Amino acid sequence: MLLCVSASHKTAPFELLERLSVPRTPVAPLITEHGECVQGAVVVATCNRFEAYIDMDEPVTAGVALGVEATLAAIEAATGVPARELEGSYTVLGGSEVAEHLFAVASGLESVVVGEGEIAGQVRRALTESRQQGSTSAELERLFQRASEAQRGVKNSTAIGRAGRSLVRLGLELASSRIADWSTQRVLLVGTGAYAAATVAALRDQGAEDISVHSPSGRAAKFAAKHGLRAVSAETFPTAVVHADLVITCTTSEHHVVSAATYAAGRTAVEAAAPATGGCPVDHSGRRLVIDLGLPRNVDPDVATVPGVDLLDLETIRLHAPLEELQATDAARDLVRDAARRFVSVGERKNITPAVVALRAHVFGVLDAEVARVRARGDEGGQTEQALRHLVGVLLHTPTTRAHELAETGRADEYIDALSALFGIEVADSVTSVERPVADAG
């Protein structure tokens, strides 16, 4: 049974998601170590969500409780966030709901900005990490591989990917309301990862020309050379912050990289250097903007108290996202649902196979006994045996087809019960019905 424990921007505050996004140790292996019934786990942790996908070897309601228990215990061990703090901030999905949810997540339909493309890569990396950690399973492999296929189908067949805007671009669009001419803006970028590269491209699309970059980890020079920017050292960083009209942060640092103290240090340095250089102190009369795209937050909230400085963070961006960007197109949702149905159908067919095999074994056992009796009486040319085998094949066709039809509609247990009632066949390795878990186990 597949299970998903999900905390996202729809159910949890960003402060909590921050804490979940920086575990001290990988969470997925801790989940699988919880008990023998946990067959595998893959964890998708991004700025806007923390989700554990679990393969349980327990096809009844108890499996849901055990899976949630394993997840909450692993979260507490890896992040220090106790289960009581998660109450009301997560949902639990089971059975067929898991595939549809993950396919929608991978396609960007559940993101802060619908259609954003970063999540697809994050989902793929989650599976890769679980492979490296030895925590995945065959069913989770199938689930995540089909999720990538569904994402590509949505991207190639609908306008959701083209219409959707990344967090970076949406943040810049919100900033555009106060920027008349991007070419005159002094922009300071803090970070050198994938988000930073996307930010540079988005800034240049807007017309920004004066862009510098700083890296808390010391990679600014290499990134600047690659993208044609100016590198800012740690020593000159406070001054660069003060001079910038727009500061954009997107690092994975666990500590604040910009704070009110950074501005104070920068202004002190500028004012001290002014008499010696014959320059003038920085004009602080205009409004400055800081966009924080990091999670955990890169910018201390006290920046909002600095005179002339406005702070725009992920939570604010989410609240200002246009309504149409928060709703998936019908076409994209239909593709996701169809892909999920196919995934479940294949899985149910696999689960019903032991029952079909048991029926065929029973029937062919009876057939073999009858053939032996016919042979003992004398079957000239084997015609009677041939006729019997043809008859059995015809008779088995309908119950075999019906088995797959029932499995695809979630009624495999009815088929199995019928085999027991009619033929006394007990199927040892088959699927049983799964009670749908409540949506919110918090």
Give catalytic residue positions: 47
Q: Hey, is 74 helix, strand or coil? A: helix
Strand bridging mode 309-313 / 246-249 = unpaired
Contacts of 113 (CB under 8 A, 6+ apart): 164, 165, 166, 167, 170, 317, 321, 325
Strand bridging mode 49-56 / 38-46 = antiparallel
Nearest to 171 by CA among 14, 320, 323: 320
Per residue in 296-333, is it b (16+ CB within 10 Å) or e — as a string?
Answer: bbbbbeebeebeebebbbbbbbbeebeeebeebbeebb
Gyration radius of the chain's alpha carbons: 30
DSSP-assigned letter for residue 158? S
The three state secondary structure string of 282-337 is: CCCCCCEEEEECCCCCCECHHHHHCCCEEEEEHHHHHHHCCHHHHCCCHHHHHHHH
Helices (H), 80-179: 83-86, 96-106, 118-133, 138-157, 160-163, 167-176
Phi then psi for residue 218, to 5 deg, are 85, 20
